[in-house]
Amino acid sequence: MFRKILNEFGIEPNASVKSFGSGLINNTWLINENGNEFILQRINQHVFKDPFAIATNIHLLCDHLKEQHPDYLFPCPLKTITGDNMAFIENEGYFRIFAFIKNSHTVDVVSSPSQAYEAAKQFGRFTSLLSEFPVDKLKITLPDFHNLSLRYSQFETAIKKGNQERFKQSAAMISFLKDQKEIVSISGQISNNPDFKKRVTHHDSKINNVLFDDNNKGLCVVDLDTVMPGYFISDFGDMMRTYLSPVSEEEKDLSKIEIREEYFKAIAQGYLSEMGNELTPVEKKYLVYAGKFMVYMQALRFLTDYLNNDIYYGSKYEGQNFVRANNQVCLLKKIIEKEKLLQDIINI
Ligand code: GN1
Ligand code: MG
């Protein structure tokens, strides 16, 4: 398979290829062609029904940034030898390649407030540098991706039609999530509120989607499949979801989940250092809500998938999506417990 792909991009067929990274959706490999390194990715076609839409978006952004902000480091995908933005290989799928950015690295777990600050700054910077970009030109690569009302109705359908054994086992979580339905209605109000702006939004602001340099300064954001028009709560909220707690969504021991306030401060400072002048005063009131929104949505998505027998996320062991959902429910409870405290940090 790799020979064919490399050939499409004019890379030597005997370059070395090894598996890379930890994403749940796409496959990623690191290629080494005589010391030149590249990242190869296969787009998950079950998730992204129109992979060329992603490639088109990335190239539009790339052109805009090159013209307006030439100093911004943006890993543009390579064209194929026939000039396409992506390669399609029969029976294998859709592939793209980027040059690997030298002296850059990613991290999987946020282990200091300064890392959180740097990452948040990069996500803010990405949106703010693209504030002049006509956001409606972006193709919707995943329709309704962060539409919480839809996620909630998918959850209700899974409760009715999904695996009934798993439903019984999840009763406590289901009841908690139903009790928190106000989070869904607030998100509905947001989408009808003209004070909330649609901007170029990353939609997957996990720490491992940021490249750091050797001095641990943020360089740029990567993994742009889900870049679409969206609300800032998606990116700010996913940072809260993934940086506040010292353990990830995979952690089974719930006692390890905690909300590190100094990390919240760092996320807010980093993000607002770039987005402070972009956000409207009304939007700024929803920073803490953003975290509840994203953690709630992720809990719904993991639990829905568990009830649907793991058809979306898959599972490496029995009950993995139950563990993930339970973890996110616990995280949500802890954010709610500290809501006032977090709000006070913003108000300083
Ligand atoms: C997926 O592939 P990855 O790990 O970057 C998912 C995100 C979830 C995340 C949970 C397209 O992202 O929305 O937050 O898993 N991406 C898609 O780990 O569904
Ligand atoms: Mg990723």
What's the pLDDT tens digit per position in 96-153?
Answer: 999 999 899 999 889 999 999 999 999 999 999 999 999 999 999 999 999 999 999 9
What's the pLDDT tens digit per position in 161-178?
Answer: 999 999 999 999 999 999
Find the range with the poorest average confidence among 20-29, 237-246, 291-300: 20-29
Mutate to test the pocket of ligand 1, among 206, 228, 304, 320 (most ligand atoms within 8 A of CB): 206
Q: How far apart are the first and last CA of the chain?
A: 56
Q: Do both 152 and 299 map to the same domain?
A: yes
CA of 23 to the centre of ligand 2 (A): 5
For Cα atoms 337, 338, 341, give the angle at the middle one, nearest 5 degrees. Answer: 145
Is residue 104 in some structural domain?
no
Q: Do both 262 and 291 map to the same domain?
A: yes
CA of 35 to the centre of ligand 1 (A): 31
Tell me which residue of 191, 190, 193, 347 sits closest to 272, measured CA to CA. 347
Q: Which domain holds residue 267?
A: 113-347
Q: How confident is the model at residue 76 (pLDDT cuts 50, 70, 90)?
A: confident
Q: Which atom of ligand 1 is nearest to the CA of 249?
A: 18
pLDDT(23) > 80? no
Mutate to test the pocket of ligand 1, among 108, 204, 241, 296 (most ligand atoms within 8 A of CB): 204
What's the pLDDT tens digit per position in 54-72?
Answer: 999 999 999 999 999 999 9
Q: Which atom of ligand 1 is nearest to the CA of 294?
A: 14
Q: For tokens 């996913």, what's the residue?
A: 238
Q: Do both 215 and 162 map to the same domain?
A: yes
Tell me which residue of 233, 205, 237 sits closest to 221, measured CA to CA. 205
CB distance 234 to 201 below 8 Å: yes
Q: How confident is the model at residue 25 (pLDDT cuts 50, 70, 90)?
A: confident
Please provide the average confidence, as pLDDT, over all residues in the chain: 95
pLDDT of residue 24: 76
Q: Do both 152 and 242 map to the same domain?
A: yes
The total number of structural domains in the chain stands at: 2
pLDDT of residue 75: 86
**Proportion of the chain above pLDDT 70, given as a percent:** 100
Is residue 24 in some structural domain?
yes
Q: Which residue did the predictor score with more confidence, 184 or 25?
A: 184
What's the pLDDT tens digit per position in 238-271?
Answer: 999 999 999 999 999 999 999 999 999 999 999 9
Tell me which residue of 324, 145, 125, 320 sits closest to 228, measured CA to CA. 145
For ligand 1, atom 15: residue with the closest CA: 24
Is residue 322 in some structural domain?
yes
Q: What is the mean pLDDT of residues 331-346?
A: 97
For ligand 1, atom 13: residue with the closest CA: 204
Q: Do both 268 and 326 map to the same domain?
A: yes
**End position of a domain, from candidates 67, 99, 131:** 99
Q: What is the mean pLDDT of residues 270-298?
A: 98
Tell me how far apart the alpha carbons of residues 220 and 105 are, in angstroms, rounded to a whole number: 11
Ligand 1 binding pocket (C-beta < 6 A) is 23-25, 47, 204, 226, 249, 298
